[in-house]
């Protein structure tokens, strides 16, 4: 699954266009490297979201099978690090 699709379907970001903009501005790192929106994500990859005041890291536990995931099931797909 593409990085921008994963961020949207796992409810980390509200819209895929926001994920694309953040990738293009270097605010999203995949395995400690700047990532393009079309980069494929795999189980075990680490995603870092850089905001102005904080940075959040998540490990991918599974790839969502559908386009949308209920917020109650986010823990099945992501584990927050730190």
- pLDDT class of 69 with cuts at 50, 70, 90: confident
pLDDT score for 49: 95
Q: Which CATH number fits domain 3-80: 3.30.930.10, 3.10.290.10, 3.40.30.10, 3.40.50.300?
A: 3.10.290.10
* Per-residue pLDDT tens over the stretch 50-64: 999 999 999 999 999
List the chain domain ranges: 3-80
Least-confidence region, from 2-16, 49-63, 64-78: 64-78
* Per-residue pLDDT tens over the stretch 15-56: 999 999 999 999 999 999 999 999 999 999 999 999 999 999
Closest CA to 7 of 78, 73, 75, 72: 78
Q: Measured between alpha carbons, how far is residue 59 from residues 45, 70 in Å?
A: 6, 18
């Amino acid at each position: 699954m593409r990085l921008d699709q994963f961020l949207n379907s796992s409810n980390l970001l509200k819209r895929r266009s926001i994920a694309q903009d953040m990738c293009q501005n270097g605010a999203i790192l995949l395995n400690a490297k700047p990532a393009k929106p079309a980069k494929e994500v795999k189980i075990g990859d680490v995603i870092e979201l850089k905001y102005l005041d904080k940075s959040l890291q998540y490990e991918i536990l599974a790839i969502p099978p559908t386009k949308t995931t209920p917020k109650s099931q986010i823990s099945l797909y992501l584990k927050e690090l730190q």
